[in-house]
Structure 1
């Protein structure tokens, strides 16, 4: 019985040590690429939703912020295409259920509330959820790119991450006025 037990332990140890080698790097590369495809789909999906959010906004500053972020989002899509190119890969999207759900929250706000500051408050909440998702995705991608030694990709991802952070701060700033207006109405 000891031999059987020892052989099982040796087999598990060998399997573990084999998977600690290049297999992890391959898995991390796949995770990076899958996340890249995910955020690429997310940005493209968002680019279709932002004009609707802008049109639904009552506050002119909020509408302008959505319009501005649409232009930035188009730039994010271009940068992601550059990242794919740097990796020698074709730009490819993979459906992002998280972004689909977050965009759906924005649609629900438009449908559930009449045009005005209360709807704007709901739109800001939905938009900030989107920004936080994107910030997390770009931050994680940037960390992986650093580990891979892809400095140009890090730079592209960092630029987008900063823009997403700025968009979030802008929404916070606008929300102060919008929320005051909504609560005083």
Structure 2
């Protein structure tokens, strides 16, 4: 983790700084997902989180590779957004005493994280293209597609979980 703010003077520096934040983001999600799995009472939701944990571990590896290629190392920079989203999810888990409400809250938290990841990876993919990094672009596109699929799956699960709780 960096001790000082980045001195961002060009798109390449902004790109690598954002990759460092993406790595921090993915590492924090890897740490948060086991609790989300444990606290899920809907089996489909727990399975979705479990599968996404494995994907996220792959995202860590992919982003580390992009950073090593770009800078020679895979260091991180704090992603403040994901820190806040994880803290909010942890609060929701503690606050929801009803298991159905907790599942709905977990889905909402998961989707908030997915939406942030979709924004980050869409932006990084665009910047990689502008920088002529076609290989990076393909890696980022593959991560983006997995994040979009995870969000779509959570939307599907929310359909039945929300109905059950509302009934």
Q: Could you state the TM-score of these two structures normalised by the residue count of structure 1?
A: 0.84
One of 33, 49, 65 as aligned partner of 2:16? 33
User: Where does residue 127 of structure 2 map in the other structure?
Assistant: 144
- Structure 1 residues without counterparts, runs of 5 or longer: 1-24
Runs of 4 or more consecutive aligned structure 1 residues displaced over 3 Å after TM superposition: none
User: Structure 1 residue 111 and structure 2 residue 94: aligned?
Assistant: yes
User: Where does residue 63 of structure 1 map in the other structure?
Assistant: 46
User: Where does residue 91 of structure 1 map in the other structure?
Assistant: 74
Equivalent residues, number: 160
Could you say what secondary structure the match of 1:120 adopts?
A: helix
User: Structure 1 residue 127 and structure 2 residue 102: aligned?
Assistant: no
Asked if 1 retains the 8 angstrom alpha-carbon contact of 2:101 and 2:165, the reply is: yes
TM-superposed CA distance for 1:114, in Å, is: 1.9
- Structure 2 residues without counterparts, runs of 5 or longer: 1-7
Deviations 1:93-143 (A, max 9, x none): 111110000011110111001251111101111110000000000000000
User: Structure 1 residue 75 and structure 2 residue 37: aligned?
Assistant: no
Distance 1:88 1:33 in 2: 8
One of 51, 60, 73 as aligned partner of 2:34? 51
Asked if 2 retains the 8 angstrom alpha-carbon contact of 1:54 and 1:63, the reply is: yes
Cα RMSD of the aligned pairs, angstroms, is 1.2
Distance 2:69 2:141 in 1: 15
Asked if 2 retains the 8 angstrom alpha-carbon contact of 1:131 and 1:167, the reply is: yes
Greater radius of gyration (CA) = 1
Q: Could you state the TM-score of these two structures normalised by the residue count of structure 2?
A: 0.92
**Aligned pairs for 1:140-179 within 5 A:** 140-179=123-162
TM-superposed CA distance for 1:88, in Å, is: 4.2
Distance 1:170 1:48 in 2: 21
